[in-house]
Amino acid sequence: MFDLIQEILKSDDKNNLRQFISLLRQLEKKYLLRNEILNSFHDYCQKQENSEHIYHSSNLSKLVSFTQEIILDTESVCFVIRPQIATQQAYRLLEDFTVEAISIQELLNLRDRLVNRYHPQEGEVLKIDFQPFYDYSPVIRDPKNIGKGVAFLNRYLSSKLFDDSRQWQDALFNFLRLHRYNDAQLLINERIQTQQQLSDCVKRALILLRKYRADTAYKNFCTELQNLGFEPGWGNTAYRVQETLEMLDQLIDSPDHQVLENFISRIPMIFRILLVSPHGWFGQEGVLGRPDTGGQVVYILDQVKGLEKQLQENIELSGLDVLSIQPKVIVLTRLIPNSEDTTCNQKLEKIYDTANAWILRVPFREYNPQLTQNWISRFEIWPYLETFAIDAEQELIEQLQGKPDLIVGNYSDGNLVAFLLARRMNVTQCIIAHALEKSKYLFSNLYWQDLEEKYHFSLQFTADLIAMNGANFIVSSTYQEIVGTQDSVGQYESYQSFTMPDLYHVLSGIELFSPKFNIVPPGVNEDVYFPYSRIGERNLSDRSRLENLLFTLEDATQVFGKLADPSKRPIFSMARLDRIKNLTGLAECFGKSQELQEHCNLILIAGKLKSEDSTDHEEISEIEKLYQIIDQYDLHGKIRWLGVRLSKDDSGEVYRVIGDRQGIFVQPALFEAFGLTILEAMISGLPTFATRFGGPLEIIQDQINGFYINPTDHTEMAEIILKFISKCDQNPNYWNEISQRSQERVYSNYTWKIHTNRLLSLAKIYSFWNYTSKEQREELLRYAESLFHLIYKPRAKMLLEEHMHRHW
C-alpha cells in the first residue's frame, strides 16, 4: 500500500488526491467511514473531465477502494487501509504530501485525540495485547481459509506426529487412557501399559476380529477384546471396531490428517453438555418476540435437540449402550421470579421432544430484589454474572452428577459465564456469539463513555475479549462473522485493535488467523418448517385459521389494516420491531413504489401494535414510525400489520400459507448476523429477498436460490422485487424454479444434523489439541483472568452500586 500511495504522489493522481481531500474537508467532519468515503469519491469523480478513468482505473480509485476510514487531522490526513481481509494498515499524509506508515498505537492515539481524550501528560492508558500468546501456536496463512480451523489443525497435528513420532504417539496413548464414563473405564485398560504394547495389541485385535462376521454385535466378542486390553468404545459391531482400530493402526504408523480427524471424532468423550445463555427470557413458549430473545433461543433449543440425537447415535455406534449410558444436555439460564406469562420462574424444565435435555434456571443473587426479581436487559446484567456462575456450578454438578464434558457459551454474557465455569471445572469451552453488539452500533468503542449509561459497552467488550481468547474454539455461523467481506470489517475482526478512550487500548484483541475459528452454520427445525407443497403433512384447520388471520380477520387487538384486494401476491416479513430489523424501511420502500402496491399486498408480523405495550425505546419509536409511514404513503387497504407473537407451529404454517399464494419473503435488516427467518422462509419454498449486509450474503446465492437487496436503497429494492414479479408474470414457472432451489439450498447446507455432527467432532479435536499441546494456554488464561479482575469486576461493581440506587 505504501508503494501505491507513492505512485499516486508521483503522478497526475496527486492533484486529484489533493482536491479530493479538500472536498472531504468541506464536509466538516473529522472522521469519515467507508460509505461516506465512497460516496464522496463518486461525487468528486462526477465533476471531473476524465471521471470514468479516475473513478474506475486510477491508482487513486484503488487506494479509495481499500480505505476503511479517513481521519482528517489539522495538519495531516490519516488513511486506515484494509489491503486484504483481516489486515489493517494506517498511513499519514502530511501537508507537504509526504507519507509515512503509522503504528497501531499511533492510530489509537490519533482516534483518542479526535474525541478529546488524548492526554499523555497524565500518563499512559492500559494496553491490552493478546498477540504474544498466539506467537507460538499455529496460524493459518491464507485469509480465505480463516474459519476452517479444524482442517488446518488436523494437518498441523498429523505433521507433528510425523516429525516427532515418539512424543506424539505417547501423547495419543496417554489421551486414550483418559476416558471414563462414571466409574467405567473406556477404550483401553491397565493391560496395556505402553505405547508399544498398544501398537502390538491393536494388531492382535485386528487378527482376532477377522473371525467374526461384520455385523456381529460387540457384546459377542467384548470379553476377548477386554483380555487384550480393550474396553468398550471402539464400535458396536465387529466391522465398526475393526474400522476404528485400523484407523489407530494407521495413525501409529503413518499419520494422516483425515484419518486423525475421523479417529478422534469417534472417541467417546462427550456425554454431558452444558449450553449457557443467561440473559432474557429463555423458555419454550411465549418468549419469542420479546426484547433480547429471538433467534438465539430458537437456535439453542433446536441445537439441543440435534445434539442429544447425535450424542445418542454416537454412543450407540461406539458400542457404549451396553453400559446403558444416557447423554444429558443442560441449558443454563437465569431464573426470573416475576416471570409474567412464561415458565422462566421454574428451576427445571424438560425440553420438548428430548429424552434428557433440560433448561436449568438459577436466580441472580438478590442484591436489589426490585431488579433481580424481574427481567433485566442484556445491557444491564453484567454485575450478576460472576456470582451466577458460582451458584450455577453447584447446581450443575448435582444435575449432571459430575462436570460437563463440553461448555458452549452463547452471546457475550453466556460466553463470559462459560469462561468462568470452564476455568473452574477445567472443561473444553466453545463460544458462539450470534451477534456482537460492537459492530452493530457505530463508534460504540470510540464514544463508549457517552453510551455507557444506556449500554455499558465497557463491560461487554471486556467480557468479549476475555471469552473469545479464553475459548478453546469459536463457532461462527458465517465467514463474514469472523472477518467480513472485501468491503466490510467482520464482527470478530472489529476486536483486532480498538480504543476505549481513557480505559484501554487494544493493540491485539484477537488472532483472526488462529485455528480456533470454525464456521458451523445452524440448521432449521425440519418438523416445523417444511415446503408448502407437502400438503399431506399440513394441518388444514391451522391453515385456514392462519389464512384468515393473515388476510381477512378484523380484530383491532391483533391486526391493523384491511386489504382492499386480499388476492394480490403477498410480500411477507416477520421480525421484532428493532431499528436494525428495519421493517419500517420495507414499509417505506413499499410506500414509495406505486407499482409494487399495484401488484402486491404487504403483510408484516411484528409482535406488537401499540407503543403503550412496550417499554423498549427502540421498539416504541419503530411502532410510531410505522404508523407514520402508513399515513404518509396512504397504505391503507394495502398493508396488514399483525401485532401477534406466533407459536412455533403457527410460525411454520404462516410461511406455507404465503407459499400457497405464490408470495415472497423479504428480510430488510440494516444488518443481520445470520438470519434464521431466511432459512425458514427458504425451506418453506418462498422466494426470499434478503439484506446484503451480513449472513444472508452467504446463505443465498443471488438470483439462483434467492435475491440480495440493499435495504438502504428503496428504489433499487423495489426494482429487484418488481423484476422478479414481472418474470413470474411472463413465465408462470419462474416462481416454482426459485422456490425449488431455495428448498434445495437449505436441505443441502443448513441442517441441524450437519451442524451437530460438526460441533461434536470439533469439541473432541480441540480437547485432544488442548491435551497434547499446552503451549502458552495457561499464561493466556491467566492474562484473560487479570482483565476480568482488574477491569471487568471493578466496573461491574460500579454498575451494581448504580443499580442499587436507581428506581426500577
Output 674 or 766, the one with its CB closest to ligand LCN: 674
Q: Which residues contact 576 (CB under 8 A, 6 or more apart)?
A: 289, 291, 294, 606, 607, 619
Q: Pick the piece of the chain touching ligand LCN (CB under 6 A) from 165-173, 294-302, 541-549, 551-559.
A: 294-302
Q: Quote the least distance from Cβ 607 to ligand UDP, whole Å.
A: 5
Pairing assessment for the beta strands 76-81 and 67-72 based on DSSP bridges: antiparallel
Q: Is residue 680 part of the contact set for ligand UDP (CB under 6 A)? A: yes
Task: List the one residue from 501, 509, 561, 607 that touches ligand UDP (CB under 6 A).
Answer: 607
User: Could you tell me the smallest distance in angstroms from the CB atom of residue 102 to ligand LCN?
Assistant: 35
How would you list the strands of the sheet with 707-709, edge to edge? 559-560, 639-642, 600-605, 569-574, 664-667, 688-691, 707-709
**Can you tell me which of 672, 697, 709, 767 binds ligand LCN, judged by CB under 6 A?**
672
Spatial distance between the Cα atoms of 134 and 255, rounded to a whole number of angstroms: 25
438: contact with ligand UDP by CB under 6 A: no
Comparison of 511 and 619: residue with beta carbon closer to ligand LCN: 619
Distance in Å, CB of 648 to ligand UDP, minimum:
7
Q: Is the CB of residue 280 less than 8 Å from the CB of residue 294? A: no
Among 420, 550, 574, 686, binds ligand UDP (CB under 6 A): 574
Nearer to ligand UDP, 143 or 286 (CB): 286
Strand order in the sheet with 272-276: 348-350, 357-363, 328-335, 272-276, 406-410, 428-432, 473-476, 517-519
Binding to ligand UDP by residue 570, rule CB under 6 A? Answer: no
d(CA 624, CA 639): 16
Using DSSP bridges, classify how beta strands 328-335 and 272-276 pair: parallel, antiparallel or unpaired.
parallel
Mark 169-188 with x for binding to ligand LCN (rule: CB under 6 A) and - for no binding.
--------------------
DSSP 303-370: HHHHHHHHHHHHHHHTTGGGG----EEEEEEEE-SS-TTSSTT-SEEEPTT-SSEEEEEEEPP-SSHH
Query: C-beta of 36: minimal distance to ligand UDP in Å?
Result: 27
Give the binding range for ligand LCN (CB under 6 A) out of 74-82, 483-491, 595-603, 669-677: 669-677
Among 677, 691, 756, 757, binds ligand UDP (CB under 6 A): 677
Nearer to ligand UDP, 490 or 607 (CB): 607
- Report the C-alpha gap between 374 and 58 in whole angstroms: 59
Count the helices and strands in the chain (H runs, E runs).
Answer: 33, 25
| Shortest Cβ 434–ligand UDP spacing (Å) | 7
In angstroms, how far is CA 609 from the centroid of its own chain?
Answer: 30
Nearest by Cα to 417 from 404, 405, 431, 403: 431
CB of 669 to ligand UDP, least distance (A): 8
Q: Can you list the positions of beta strands (E) in 704-748?
A: 707-709
Q: What is the DSSP letter of 190?
A: T
Bridge partners for 409 per DSSP: 276, 431
Q: Closest residue to ligand LCN, Cβ-based?
A: 295
Residue with cell 483518542: 112
Shortest CA distance to 769 belongs to which of 132, 150, 136? Answer: 150
Among 283, 675, 685, 706, binds ligand UDP (CB under 6 A): 675
- In the structure grid, which three cell numbers stand for residue 692, read together? 446484503
Our finding on whether 24 is near ligand UDP (CB under 6 A) is: no
| Gap between the terminal Cα atoms of the chain | 53
The site that binds ligand LCN (CB under 6 A) totals a number of residues, namely 12
755 belongs to the binding site for ligand UDP (CB under 6 A): no
296 binds ligand LCN, rule: CB under 6 A = yes
Instruction: Give the strand pairing for 600-605 and 569-574.
Output: parallel
Span from 105-113, 122-130, 213-221, 675-683 in contact with ligand UDP (CB under 6 A): 675-683
Query: Binding string to ligand UDP for residues 626 to 645, with x set by CB under 6 A, is what?
Result: -------------------x
Q: x-or-dash pattern for ligand LCN, window 675-714, by CB under 6 A?
A: xx--------------------------------------
Binds ligand LCN by CB under 6 A, chosen from 673, 697, 791, 796: 673
Q: Does 414 bind ligand UDP (CB under 6 A)?
A: no
Q: What is the 3-state secondary structure (H, E, C) of 407-438?
A: EEEEHHHHHHHHHHHHHHHCCEEEEECCCCHH
| SS3 category, 32 | strand
Query: Interface with ligand UDP by CB under 6 A: which range of 262-270, 418-426, 497-505, 674-682?
Result: 674-682
Distance CA 350, CA 304 (A): 11
Least CB distance to ligand UDP at residue 588 (A): 20
Largest CA distance in the chain: 88
Q: By CB under 6 A, tell whether 750 contacts ligand LCN.
A: no
Give the neighbor-by-neighbor strand order of the sheet with 498-500.
Answer: 126-129, 504-508, 498-500
Candidate list 147, 255, 283, 295; residue touching ligand LCN; CB under 6 A: 295
Contact between 280 and ligand LCN by CB under 6 A: the answer reads no
659 binds ligand UDP (CB under 6 A): no
* Residue 288 contact among ligand UDP, ligand LCN, none, beta carbon within 5 to 8 Å by kind: ligand UDP
| Residue 415 interacts with which of ligand LCN, ligand UDP, none, CB < 5 to 8 Å by class | none
Minimum Å distance from CB 410 to ligand LCN? 8
Among 259, 288, 325, 459, interactor with ligand UDP by CB under 6 A: 288
Which residues contribute to the site for ligand LCN (CB under 6 A)? 295-296, 299, 434-435, 477, 522, 672-676
Residue ranges binding ligand UDP (CB under 6 A): 288-289, 294-296, 298, 574-576, 605, 607, 645-646, 651, 674-677, 680
